[in-house]
Structure 1
Amino acid sequence: MDQEDRIALFLDYENLALGARDHHGGRAFDFRPIADALAERGRVVVRRAYADWSYFDEDRRMLTRSHVELIEIPQRMGASRKNAADIKMAVDAVELAFERGYISTFVICTGDSDFTPLVHKLRELNKRVIGVGVEKSTSALLPPACDEFLYYDRLEGVDVLPVRGRRGRPARAAEPQQAEAVEQEQVEPERPPAAEEPVRDADALAVLVAQTVAGLQGSSDGEVTASRLKRTLLRKDPTFSESDYGFRTFGELLRHLAGLNVVELAEGPAKGDPEVSLPEHGDQEVAFALLRSVVADLAGSGGPVALSGLKNQLRRARPEFSEKKLGYRSFLQFCKAAATANEVALAWSADADDYLLTPRQG
């Protein structure tokens, strides 16, 4: 049976086109990168774009070639035109959700937070919602509401041009030397090219993946596959993308983390979808040994060691230490695991109002 997702695409075109032109050095909006990104996610069966098309003549031809249905929103005064487009698009999306049960995914292309209630309603109707917007013109409220959010700027095929300064004109005629001086004064300094978005912290990535795998393993008895892990990461952060960390595919990211002993990979139920788990040995044993050693050193000079401040002592001995990379949600949970493994003794002290650790006996 064909399990391919059926996708309905709705574009708030004015929001996208103006956002792209304002923040991409005046470059026109290109629909092709969005079409390519959606082709990787399923079969697009509905494509609709909403705007007053008298303002977007060239864009209209480009969208028509891509088989996008153009919904005309006639010119009205002020904000009423924008509201009319929003209302029409929202009504059409909800109507389609009821009338076309086979459509499983709705793609809402806009950065306008006014569409957040629409996203909530579609998800309430058991529809997957993907948002698409220009990063600098997208409301912070919209991405967390979606199942997945794609920033147009980061899609393959989108070239962001730096905004350049424009040459000013002299206010009046002058002597040649004076005119040259005036022109030089009025030339706006050329802005440096927009800096590329910094690559996200690799350590934070390791922590995120390890904690997510640990949570999935603890919440169910089923195996944690790569596809399930990716879906969960997107639920935590709809803007998550392995490309932000420099990886071409999610599988490549997992193989990198496996090489760092953050996770282990095994053959999964389907080809290309490996099972992901936390290492049973390796870094965890090293971390337990570090804890045992530090507690023994501190206990030898002053008795039981309080939990408060102990993590800093471990980091002095090993600066890269992080219990979160091992899948633990807190340092206390890590210490409890070490106590269960008989590496240290851990007990609550009412007098100290803290947990106290001592080296294991024997």
Structure 2
Amino acid sequence: MPGPSDPRVAVYIDFDNIIISRYDQLHGRGSFHKHRVRKAEVTGPDADRETRQRLVDATVDLDAVLDFASSLGTVAISRAYADWSVPVNASYRGQLVDRAVDLTQMFPTVASMKNGADIRLAIDVVEDLFSVPDLTHVVIVAGDSDYIALAQRSKRLGRYVVGIGVAGATSASLASACDEFVDYDALPGVMTDDPITEEPTEAPRTSRRAVAPPRAPEPAPAPVTAGTTAGADQSSTADDSPTTAQGATAADTDDATAPDEPTVVAPKKGPSGLLVRALRLGHAKDDAEWLHSAAVKNHMLRMDPTFNEKALGYRTFTEFVKSRGSFVEVDETGPIRKIRLRSAFHPE
């Protein structure tokens, strides 16, 4: 349970800004508008396969963004601003709902589709800084120069300001106005490859003491990255098979019908993926070779409050970590248990 002095974080996402910036980064400047992505259907019989694939390639891993924010402290506020009636925005429903992000609806007010998200976001930040005085960190997920004044004012009010933006679409002045600015591609978890395959789900029985039954096996974690999809089969066996937003045919799913609304499926982090991402964030934040086991577990709980090693069949967190010995090392030589990722699993 967080104490009164623990850092508390507020995250504000200019959703259109980050989605458009990521798309243009991969497909060329101005491509989002040139390809008319905002009005494109992303699922169903009217969906354009080429447009859908471009969107999949440019999928933003919001888990990586929120997990990074949780490495700063307890995320007390998380809001995303966009017109959620737009199909490409609605396709992120799964990621956002799973992380309990507050979705703020911004209807366009002019023909240019500008929705005033930057003004609303700035007003909410300033209001929150006064109404929630124990906030210590403000995370602005955007690269627009319009947020320079907001970053400066937040710092003046005593908050540590962190910006997250996409390379090539971020104002240098905004980066300078923040206490810390992180490139989206440099976030731990946003990777092109993840060699982790081990996912043990049940601890070896060392006593007759009853423990909670283990959960069903989970797939190994793999972040959504350019050119890849989560849990989708890239090869299609029938041209006329309906497809999902991830490019999988209906035959690949348990239900032959398409979902009612387009959904970008975020990669589900099993226990191993959760542990590895917490360790990567810890190593990146502290630049330390070994991390305190208790601190890593607290970070895992901030990322996923449902994590419980006992539900997996382990009596202690240390037992759980030792079961992942192929990619985690444990140091028990001192009074405080420490853990670290094996060198082969550190990001490049």
Report the TM-score when normalising by structure 1.
0.44
Rg larger in 1 or in 2? 1
Report the TM-score when normalising by structure 2.
0.46
Structure holding more helix per residue? 1
With a CA cutoff of 8 Å and minimum separation of 6, indicate the structure with the bigger relative contact order: 2
